[in-house]
Structure 1
Amino acid sequence: MKDITIAIDGFSSTGKSTIAKLLAKALGYVYVDSGAMYRAITFFAMKKGLITTEYFDREALISALPNAHVSFKFNSDLGFAEVYLNDENIEKNIRTLEVSNLVSIVAAVPEVRAQLVKIQKAIGKHKAVVMDGRDIGTVVFPDAELKIFMTASAETRALRRYNEIKNNGEDITLEAILENVQKRDHLDSTRKDSPLLKAEDAIEVDNSNVTIEEQFQNILKLVNSVLNA
């Protein structure tokens, strides 16, 4: 059976990573969470004191980028690859609301995008990869055999994110999460460099009212149709 590239784009908290992980596991493909890479750089900037909600030293971050090495290491117990920054596991560190509030700002920096897109393209060079993010089907893999664009209402996405963060033990309100979701939608869609766009040949999937399993099975049918074409 031939190997293909699967690009999954969409708004924040639409379940892109969940579906991408399930697809990669079912197909035996490599899974890459590109959003986690931008979160890693954001966490790096925060640790260096280069960004807060009130301050962003863009030029200092650009200068420091060569010292930020983002990688993935497969965790057999979890069944997916975790994110590392300079060989430190930061998988949990990058899932906080604090990082979520700043990641769209960092992701809008062209130099950051250029460095990470280069890594992403190299990972997908030999296909057999499922990658999710904001610009995978439009910039990273414009020739991907299957492109999915995932969407859901802001309220649905905020509730999902709220439950995820609460499960991690962080004290936060649903209202704060909804505000963050709406802010990120605006920033991701309006940035000048690689804005969030639906590729012309992408298949839109609205998962506001379906279960993860229903969504997975529907998308798996799309994958099989491409594989058997």
Structure 2
Amino acid sequence: MKWTLLRANSGLHYQPLAIECLQLNDNSRKARQTTFKPRIQGALKKIIIAIDGPAASGKSTTAKALAKRLGYTYIDTGAMYRAITLKFLRSPFCDELFSDESRLKEFLDQTDVHLEGENVFLDCENVSHLIRSNEVSRLVSKVSALKLVREKLAVCQRKIGEARGVVMDGRDIGTVIFPDAELKIFMTASVKERAKRRYEELLEKSKTGTVDITIAELEEEIAQRDKADTERSIAPMRKAPDAITLDTSHLSIDEQVQFIYERAKRLIEA
């Protein structure tokens, strides 16, 4: 069996590439024309998908799965703030960093945070698991409220998103980092449901099969975190006027991903 390439026809912008060939049958020597449409179809438009929402609303899990389905890059901005918070906790000058701006600037200038796939690196150390501790969770809102911290990470986040084709989740992606994002989602869920999810997450990651915090305590922590995130003076958490609200309280991960995927697909193919 032989295949002879005749021509490639791209059609209209963003339409699938069609390749027309002549199939030559070695026995009959008869030719027939066949059109192929490759699985990866043309130069599809790349968009920025901003997913915002409170702690434990399902942003990261959903955003990660969505990015994989779309073939996009996933950026967990919350992990970046957690990495810096971990460094705060390790510093002997932790308290001073909140009050001494010059010391904080020097501290941040000597701090490198970057993501490689699902791994988070702080000054070349993989801290992916360490940043999920209760100690980090309790302090991250306070650290992320600092202007210099937000400015440093905002530059990094915008740089990553320049190439487009990204799914980025956080608290201020659709309002501050990428206010012109083509698709904005604001994910939420009840405090009770979010506390339950966080507890199950901690239990799953525990090596002993137990955790040192109750669901009731997690509910209180999450409520306090919501208050801190919405009331901070720098880039408070809020829903963008053009964002779509997605209440995940009674939705599975697959349902959440499908909800956003359908809307993203329409924009990509428009």
Relative to the length of structure 1, the TM-score reads: 0.93
In the alignment, which residue of structure 2 is the partner of 1:161?
198
In the alignment, which residue of structure 2 is the partner of 1:87?
124
Give the Cα separation in 2 of the matches to 1:28 and 1:50.
Answer: 42
Superimposed CA distance per residue, residues 84-130 of structure 1 (whole angstroms, 9 cap, x where no aligned partner): 00110000000011100000000000000000000000000010011
* Structure 1 unmatched runs, 5+: 75-80
Partner letter of residue 162 of structure 1? Answer: Y
Q: More relative contact order in 1 or in 2 (CA 8 Å, sep 6+)?
A: 1
In the alignment, which residue of structure 1 is the partner of 2:229?
188
Larger Rg: 2
User: What SS does the aligned partner of 1:177 have?
Assistant: helix
Contact 1:139 1:194 in 2 (8 A): yes
In the alignment, which residue of structure 1 is the partner of 2:9?
none
Contact 1:166 1:172 in 2 (8 A): no
In the alignment, which residue of structure 2 is the partner of 1:78?
none
Partner letter of residue 64 of structure 1? Answer: F
Superposition RMSD in Å: 1.1
Q: Please identify, of 135-144 and 55-64, the stretch whose mean Cα deviation from structure 2 is larger.
A: 55-64
**Structure whose residues are more often helix by fraction:** 1
* Structure 2 unmatched runs, 5+: 1-43
The alpha-carbon distance between structure 1 residues 223 and 155, as it changes in their structure 2 partners (threshold 3 A), is same
Find the partner of 1:171 among 193, 196, 212. Answer: 212
User: What SS does the aligned partner of 2:240 have?
Assistant: coil
Find the partner of 2:84 among 23, 37, 41. Answer: 41
Which runs of structure 2 are paired with 1:73-222 in the superposition (5 Å)?
73-74=116-117, 81-169=118-206, 170-222=211-263
Q: Percent identity?
A: 47
User: What SS does the aligned partner of 2:186 have?
Assistant: strand
The alpha-carbon distance between structure 1 residues 49 and 168, as it changes in their structure 2 partners (threshold 3 A), is farther
Superimposed CA distance per residue, residues 187-219 of structure 1 (whole angstroms, 9 cap, x where no aligned partner): 000000000010011000001011111111111
Partner letter of residue 112 of structure 2? Answer: H
Give the Cα separation in 1 of the matches to 2:269 and 2:72.
Answer: 17
**Superposition misfits of 4+ residues, deviation over 6 angstroms:** none
In the alignment, which residue of structure 2 is the partner of 1:57?
97
